[in-house]
Structure 1
């Protein structure tokens, strides 16, 4: 069975779009678990009313509330603990499924030791633009588990988390390693899964619309950061430190992880527009000293030239 875990926090203006999008697929054999991280708005009431009306269409549907705010990882962990499915799909309470996406995702139920990666449609409410984002294709090339782990360690997060779903064993085999990380449930999980020999499969379709708005935890570069967004930056630094200390990571990948740590540190210490502008240029200079980052920059420039 497929378990969809929708993690919410103060998303009363968005969560109905998320929930209603599930009804555009066959969901009779799908479990829906909505977790709320102590929202201070009406998100829980909105979700409860919706489940009362539509819950009968699912194999199981419920809202799981918390007694204290635990962040994205804890909220996601809470939802998985309450679920029973062998295939897990997480989604934020401000994103939504494309029509028919759940029908396609369900077809992968029963395959173990695998992370499935779909494309994502990014809907930017700040610019009124829409684009299809794809996962980094290098991750799906034939390679050993060590090579894949080092690729992730050197390049960074190569998977679009909103479009990813995975067999339950992926979470169970690495979830304990996320201790101390509050808001990043994806990158370190992918890295640890690669080390353990899990498979990464591109499924070749767009499953989710990712909404960009003013309150995303991944903040716009020049916006004043909230406490949660600063905590997210700290988590990024923690993850990169952990990767740089991993005995199985190559020296070049360790160097790249440390460069990302320094970049995050400089950025997090910049509090106004001028300071952040200076910091961004400093980060670019620092990161150009990283061979892996420089190679990626050249590849992106080449892709843009070809697409002109």
Structure 2
């Protein structure tokens, strides 16, 4: 069974307008019934009028799917296309994003995890940055909230800086064709490394990513994001794998 056969449509709607949105917001969802509504509200509040929305539920064990379905029934008219998919089994973050990527019909896509949020002008300003610089992606500074409250550590995409570790989050506006050309998100034993791998691929391919030193996105810090259960052996294995993909990395092991 292929990945694209391993999920089904739970809800499909939209305004039916004849406009041609340039951006799809993609939300990956797993067991975030208590916060996904907040994330969705911040997407609906975007100042960019024309948007598509895709949510992929990675076979959540809580009421996440029901929460999103209720929300979409009320707010579907805000979007040109508004779709909820559900994986038939839990496939992990990278595969879930890749499933969503397979359904994107717009020039750009923005990746948002279900526990994070956007400020109203986020998508509009990131799209403007891509247009102004003809970049393949645009990202901004983050605001950490929840169990921590501080400004993130994002900076200009740099091979020299990136070779020692990742400092750019997944919350970025990406040209859909470029993301597909990069192979989507790589699969690793430990979730989270797919973002690092993507930005390393940008460096490998000489792709331009625009950095806006403005706080436009909010990253939620909570127990699930702070607790690290991976063993040193697992981490070493992933570091070896990503270094094999990008030999210029200089990760401490």
TM-score (norm 1): 0.67
* Structure 2 alignment gaps of length 5 or more: 1-21
> For this pair of structures, how many residues does the alignment match?
230
2:211 counterpart (180, 202, 209): 202
Shift of 1:238: 4.3
Paired residues of 2:27 and 2:56 also in contact (CA < 8 A) = yes
Q: Decide which structure has the larger Cα Rg and report it.
A: 1
2:71 counterpart (47, 50, 55): 50
Task: Provide the rounded CA distance (Å) in 1 between the counterparts of 2:232 and 2:174.
Answer: 23
Does residue 121 (structure 1) correspond to residue 143 (structure 2)? The answer is yes
**Change in 2 beyond 3 A, CA 1:132/1:54:** same
Paired residues of 2:30 and 2:60 also in contact (CA < 8 A) = yes
If each structure's helix is expressed as a fraction of its own residues, which one has the higher value? Answer: 1
Task: Indicate the SS of the match to 2:203.
Answer: helix
Task: Provide the rounded CA distance (Å) in 1 between the counterparts of 2:232 and 2:106.
Answer: 29
CA shift digits 1:64-89 (9 cap, x unpaired): 11101011101111111111121111
> Residue 36 of structure 2 corresponds to which residue in structure 1?
15
RMSD: 2.6
Task: Provide the rounded CA distance (Å) in 2 between the counterparts of 1:26 and 1:177.
Answer: 28
Does residue 242 (structure 1) correspond to residue 244 (structure 2)? The answer is no
Task: Indicate the SS of the match to 2:33.
Answer: coil
If each structure's strand is expressed as a fraction of its own residues, which one has the higher value? Answer: 2
Shift of 1:133: 1.4
Does residue 188 (structure 1) correspond to residue 197 (structure 2)? The answer is yes
Task: Provide the rounded CA distance (Å) in 2 between the counterparts of 1:69 and 1:112.
Answer: 37
Does residue 178 (structure 1) correspond to residue 202 (structure 2)? The answer is no
TM-score (norm 2): 0.81
Instruction: Say which structure, 1 or 2, has more relative contact order (CA 8 Å, 6+ apart).
Output: 2
**Change in 2 beyond 3 A, CA 1:238/1:166:** farther
